[in-house]
Structure 1
Amino acid sequence: MKISIITVCYNSAAIIEDTIKSVIAQTYDNIEYIIVDGGSKDETLTIVEKYKEHVDVLISEPDKGIYDAMNKGIEVSTGEIVGILNSDDFYEREDVIRAVVENFDSSIDLLFGDLVFVKPENLKKVTRYYSLPKFKRWHLRFGWMPPHPATFIRKEVYNQFGLYKTHYRISADYEFLCDYSWSRN
């Protein structure tokens, strides 16, 4: 099963290398890695270039915000599963994608896991922990949402429900998950 990982970025030179390294360190082999850059003016693309043999698709052009960038990545993705790992995020372990794929079966459209929030200056300092067992679908009614970097969605769900609505500045992912969730009742 192919999984597409999308990293969106803009002027992310200070942080993107750890993100890229965490993707290429994964023990699962069938990963399509897509980077969507919003036309960075710093050294972001120089860093991406260092890892070009691990990047299957690079799009670098101005966009209309983070959801437009995510949509560009989703549109070109060819994996059965899509995960979005922003440029200031990283996978803590090398077997994350393997575990995701092993837990997807034909009855699952969406899967999400735990997320650890840390301080950028001290990656060992945990500031918040988002735990999968605590989330219930009804939590969406109160604005509680699965964390983006720990959410993986079948490409066919995007094909069925559409992409993120770009007129939402900060909540298009929440709106998408609510639409999906309510359709399953």
Structure 2
Amino acid sequence: MKVSIITVVYNGAEFVRDCIESILNQTYSNIEYIIVDGKSTDGTVDIVKSYGTKVARFISEPDKGLYDAMNKGIRLATGDIIGLLNADDFYRHNRVIENMVATFEQTDSDAVYGDMLYVDRNDTKKLKRYWRSGWYSENAFLWGWMPGHLSFFAKRWLYEKHGLFRLDMKSAADYELMLRFIHKNKAKLAYMNEVTIVMRAGGISNSSLQNRLRANREDQLAWQLNDLKPYFFTFWLKPLRKLKQYVSKPPETLDK
């Protein structure tokens, strides 16, 4: 199976090389690597261009934000499977794509997801948070569950049939998309019981209490937009479930 990996970046010269290398060093060979840049001015474009044809598609132009850039990449993708990896982040090891494809093949799933680590932005040996997605059960979204977005690999036809990221959502567009794919349209899931993604700490929805409250309101909107009815406690369980991520430890030591 052909895998399309999309990286979106804007002024990410500090870390984008780590991201690119983690993809180019994967043991799986049939990867289409797409980079969508938001017209960076800090040297990012020169770094990407230095990789030549190792990057299958590269565009650099203004966009309407993170999810608009992701949508551009998805529209360019020709792979059977689509994955996203932001410019600050990198894969846990060089067999992530190989293991992910094997999971698709063994389970005949529509989408595959794994676990994620959040680390210090400058010292990636310092663990900040461990997101163990765990096994999915039907209606898990009602109980505040969701997989880590960047650990989520989906068949391209899911995007073609059920749509891309909504640009009218600021921080919960990833949640809304997975709610739409998984809970509403019953995509068949498989869980990779391993850490797949390492993310440098930070993020839109979790960087402040104000942003967390905004994300909570957008979570509610995600259900309304899909004509879905949550439990009254669904939106409180979602952030509460994340508290465990700050005390849990991954089963392996963190080696880049």
Normalising by the residue count of structure 2, what TM-score does the alignment of the two structures yield? 0.69
**Counterpart code for 2:64:** K
Structure showing greater radius of gyration is 2
Conservation of the 8 A alpha-carbon contact between 1:89 and 1:149 = no
Q: For residues 18 and 137 of structure 1, do their structure 2 counterparts lie closer, same or farther at Cα, with a shift above 3 Å needed? A: farther
Q: Could you tell me which amino acid in structure 2 is paired with residue 118 of structure 1?
A: V
Q: What's the offset of the Cα at 1:15?
A: 1.0
Measure the CA separation in 2 of the matches of 1:29 and 1:14: 27
TM-superposed deviation, 1:172: 1.1
Which piece of structure 1 moves more, 168-177 or 80-89?
168-177
What is the correspondence of 1:32-181 to structure 2 with a 5 Å cutoff? Answer: 32-105=32-105, 107-133=108-134, 136=137, 138-180=139-181, 181=183
Paired residue secondary structure (2:125):
strand
CA separation of 1:25/1:183 partners in 2, compared to 1, >3 Å: closer, same or farther? Answer: same
| Whole-angstrom distance in 1 between the partners of 2:164 and 2:94 | 29
Aligned equivalents of 2:91 and 2:120: distance in 1?
Answer: 15
- 1:14-60 residue CA offsets vs partner (Å, 9 max, x unmatched): 11010000000000000000000011111100111111221000011
- Using structure 1 for the length normalisation, give the TM-score: 0.94
TM-fit CA distance, 1:136: 4.6
The 1:129–1:137 alpha-carbon spacing in structure 2 relative to 1, beyond 3 Å, is: farther
Q: Give the stretch that moved more between structures: 147-156 or 124-133.
A: 124-133
Shift of 1:142: 5.0
Unaligned 5+ runs, structure 2: 188-256
Higher RCO (CA 8 Å, separation ≥ 6 residues): 1
- Matched with 2:16 is 16
In the aligned structure 1, how far is the partner of 2:31 from the partner of 2:125? 27
Report the counterpart of residue 185 of structure 2 in structure 1.
183
Q: Distance in 2 between matches of 1:178 and 1:70?
A: 17
Deviations 1:103-140 (A, max 9, x none): 00373111100111111121111111111326555442
Work out whether 1:7 is the aligned partner of 2:39. Answer: no
Structure 1, gaps ≥5 residues long: none
Distance in 2, Cα, partners of 1:70 & 1:175? 14
Aligned residues: 185
Q: CA RMSD in A?
A: 1.6
| Structure 2: distance between partners of 1:12 and 1:143 | 32
**What percent identity do the matched residue pairs reach?**
44
